[in-house]
Amino acid sequence: MYDLNEVRMFVSVMETGNLKESALRLGVSKSTLSRRISHLEQALSQPLLRRQANRLIANEAGVRFLPFAQKLLRTADEGHKAVETLKEEVSGSIVMYVHTSLAQSWFSKLVGDFLVAFPHIHLDIRVGQQPLREVKHHNLCLWVGDGVHDQLKSEKIATMSQSLYAGASYFERIGSIKDLNTLKRCSWVNSFHGHQDEVLLEHAELGRVLIPLPPSRLLVNQYELYVEDIIQGRGVGLLPNYFVTRLLQQRPGAVLPVLSEWTANPLPVYLQYPFGSMSKKLHTFIQYLRRHAQALG
Spans of all domains in the chain:
4-86, 92-159+268-296, 160-265
| pLDDT surpassing 80 at residue 136 | no
39 φ, ψ to 5°? -60, -40
Instruction: Give residue 294's pLDDT.
Output: 80
- pLDDT tens digits, residue range 137-196? 557 888 887 656 666 788 889 988 889 999 999 998 988 888 898 888 888 887 655 556
Q: What is the mean pLDDT of residues 65-73?
A: 87
- pLDDT tens digits, residue range 76-125? 877 766 655 544 567 788 888 888 878 777 887 788 888 888 888 888 88
Collapsing DSSP to helix, strand or coil, 79 comes out as: helix
Band (1; pLDDT cuts 50, 70, 90): low
- Rg for the chain, CA atoms, rounded: 31
DSSP 236: B
Instruction: Give residue 252's pLDDT.
Output: 93
Q: Which amino acid is at 11?
A: V
| pLDDT surpassing 60 at residue 8 | yes
Element (H, E) at 245: helix 241-250
Burial category of 101 from C-beta neighbours within 10 Å (exposed 0-12, middle 13-18, buried 19 and up): buried
HEC assignment per residue over 145-198: CCCCCCCCEEEEEEEEEEEEEEEHHHHHHHCCCCCHHHHHCCCECCCCCCCCCE
Instruction: Give residue 105's pLDDT.
Output: 72
* Spatial distance between the Cα atoms of 165 and 244, rounded to a whole number of angstroms: 9
* Spatial distance between the Cα atoms of 230 and 278, rounded to a whole number of angstroms: 42
| pLDDT surpassing 70 at residue 272 | yes
Band (220; pLDDT cuts 50, 70, 90): low
Q: What is the mean pLDDT of residues 14-23?
A: 84
Domain 92-159+268-296: assigned CATH number: 3.40.190.10
The domains spanning 92-159+268-296 and 160-265 adopt the same CATH topology: yes
More confident residue, 66 or 136: 66
| pLDDT surpassing 60 at residue 259 | yes
Q: Is the CATH code 1.10.3720.10 the one for domain 4-86?
A: no
E strand map for the chain: 49-52, 55-58, 92-99, 121-128, 140-144, 153-167, 198-203, 207-212, 237-240, 255-257, 262-273
**Pick among 3.30.365.10, 3.40.190.10, 3.40.50.720, 3.40.190.290: CATH of 160-265:** 3.40.190.290
Q: Tell me the DSSP string of 44-65.
A: HTS--EEEETTEEEE-HHHHHH
